[in-house]
Amino acid sequence: MSAFIFNELNFDDHEQVVFVSEAKSGLKGIIAVHNTNLGPAMGGCRMWNYASEALAVNDVLRLSRGMTYKNAVAGLPIGGGKSVIIGNPKTDKTPALFEALGEALERLGGRYITAEDIGTSPEDMAHVATKTRYVAGLGASGDPSPYTALGCFVGAQAAVKHHLKRDTMDGLTVAVQGLGHVGYDYARRLHGAGAKLIVTDIDQATLERAREEFGAEIVSVDAIYDVQADIYAPCALGATLNPGTLARLKAKIVAGGANNQLATAEVGELLRQKGVLYAPDFVINAGGIIKVCYEYLNKPEADVEAHVREISDTLAEVFARADQEGQPTSVVADEIAEARFKR
């Protein structure tokens, strides 16, 4: 197993990978600490019914690495880490499960701080907090998704201004893939700015709500790649951009909230060659971790929105530099992050 992990593409010199279990609660999880050069690692806890342990390892490593880059580009005094719990978030959750996770975090002594992610909630984090202080995103005000959605919205505005030479979203068509907490709030902001929405999700009730509230057009999960749209907004799970889907994509901009949107690093260059402007995922979707970091460090909540809105300026810098250097935006964003966290 160790050979598998060290040879895993996303291992990328992780400082620490810890497998945690607790028989009574049924906890089976993995905590990955990628880099702590800028401060303790911070990143959410994902609960997912992975088909295999190998897939869980792959997921936590790529997400953890991504958090290092995201936190660095966002100018936060924290490193990157992530945790996953193997299990069905709809049927396997118990307070004891998250208390056991809290005990595991406490044993790490503050090297990793967790928060909510896909499959977990502020309420779950409150159970974690009964066993450790190394947790953020607690209670009703702890949900970071509105700030993630805000970052995506101002990031999309920056992309539209740079690539389409427009100062408004009015009349543009946006294909939104995934209407979870982030995707739905992002869609609400786009609708308010005058955009037409084409949406897909696995939850039919959410789709119907979007049709009623936003006048959104509904398409099947697979058909979202084929629609005529100005912007493709991936807001579900990662790796939806690959040579196959890219061949079908008609949008001129990719600007969404999902993590790890590129199936492989080479897809960034393919997007550039196709003339599609890609807003690098870990830049545009950093709003949530900015909110969580401010909360954990007891920094003024009134300052969070201004920091999130700086995502627009960061992306403008990435886009301009990519044009000047003839490089994919994904490569430029990586270089900016690495200049900040690598020693």
User: Cα–Cα distance between 81 and 66 in angstroms, integer?
Assistant: 8
**CB crowding 50-77: b at 16 or more within 10 Å, else e:** beeeeebbbbbbbbbbbbbbbbbbbebe
Active site residue 252: no
- 242 CB contacts (<8 Å, ≥6 apart)? 263, 264, 267
User: Which stretches within 136-201 are classed as H helix?
Assistant: 145-159, 181-192
Do residues 85 and 101 lie in contact, with contact meaning Cβ atoms separated by under 8 Å?
Answer: yes
- 240 CB contacts (<8 Å, ≥6 apart)? 177, 234, 258, 261, 263
CA distances from 32 to 20, 57, 82, 329 (A): 11, 9, 5, 27
Do residues 277 and 159 lie in contact, with contact meaning Cβ atoms separated by under 8 Å?
Answer: yes
User: Cα–Cα distance between 124 and 95 in angstroms, integer?
Assistant: 7
The DSSP symbol for 22 reads E
Neighbours of 183 (CB within 10 A): 28
User: Cα–Cα distance between 255 and 235 in angstroms, integer?
Assistant: 9
Active-site hit among 28, 70, 82, 196? 82
**Catalytic residue annotation:** 82
